[in-house]
Amino acid sequence: TFVIGMVIGVSIMTLTGLGFFLYVFSGGEIESYAIAPLDTDSQILTEPIKDIVTDNPTVIAGVTTDYPITLVQYVDYECRFCKKFFPDVVALTKEHSDKVRLVIKQYPLVQIHPHAKTASLAAYCADEQDKLIEYSNKLFERQNDLADDTLFDTIANGLELNKDQFSACRTSASTAQQV
């Protein structure tokens, strides 16, 4: 009876997953109101996902907003899992740019990663000059050096970002509110 129960359980889960993917790829639309992200100062849930996707997202693949799949990736530059996952998500999005868009949200977990917010501010400013992916890749490459405040300008110079615009953005109060 245990084996029969396992077979039935696995079958139900497989059919449910298959139904979900068929629904998404056949043009169905799923309204998601799950709660995310955490406010990094207080760790209180604050925004519904629907607002995150439509509220000034960074889109790196494609030019339209009509995609059957939207991936929302929260990035913390001190997170070793983010470092491992980020290049794969970018590659997947570029490979399937006709069906998938990537929305990147800065999500520094300041309680456990003390330098992540500074890195996120710098990445946000690189995004203003359309270099978010390149800048993020460099931050992940130098993940162990994020305590060095000169690193952010060094990366910006290497990517030929406008130095004055980048510096002004990093020190702006409005930037701090965005991250």
Q: What tens digit of pLDDT does each residue of 68-126 get?
A: 788 888 899 999 999 998 998 888 888 888 888 888 888 888 888 899 999 999 999 99
Type and span of the H or E element at 7: helix 2-25
- For position 17, what pLDDT does the model report? 62
Name, of 43-47, 49-53, 86-90, the range with top average pLDDT.
86-90
Task: Concatenate the DSSP letters of all residues of 111-135 into one string.
Answer: TT-TTHHHHHHHHHHHHTTT-HHHH
Q: Check whether 144 has a pLDDT greater than 90.
A: yes
pTM exceeds cut of 0.85: no
Q: Check whether 43 has a pLDDT greater than 50.
A: no
- For position 98, what pLDDT does the model report? 81
Type and span of the H or E element at 94: helix 80-95
- For position 69, what pLDDT does the model report? 80
3-state secondary structure of 160: coil
Worst-scoring range by mean pLDDT, 4-13, 60-69, 118-127, 157-166?
60-69
Worst-scoring range by mean pLDDT, 23-27, 123-127, 133-137?
23-27
Q: Check whether 38 has a pLDDT greater than 50.
A: no
Cα separation, 36 vs 169, whole angstroms: 26
Q: Check whether 39 has a pLDDT greater than 90.
A: no
Rounded average pLDDT over 41-66: 48
Regarding predicted confidence, which is higher, 79 or 40?
A: 79
pLDDT bracket for residue 158 (50, 70, 90)? very high
Cβ atoms of 103 and 57 closer than 8 Å = yes
Rounded average pLDDT over 3-25: 66
DSSP state at residue 140: H
pLDDT bracket for residue 15 (50, 70, 90)? low
- For position 58, what pLDDT does the model report? 52
Query: Which one-letter amino acid corresponds to residue 71?
Result: L
Q: Tokens representing 151? A: 């690193």
Cα separation, 15 vs 114, whole angstroms: 44
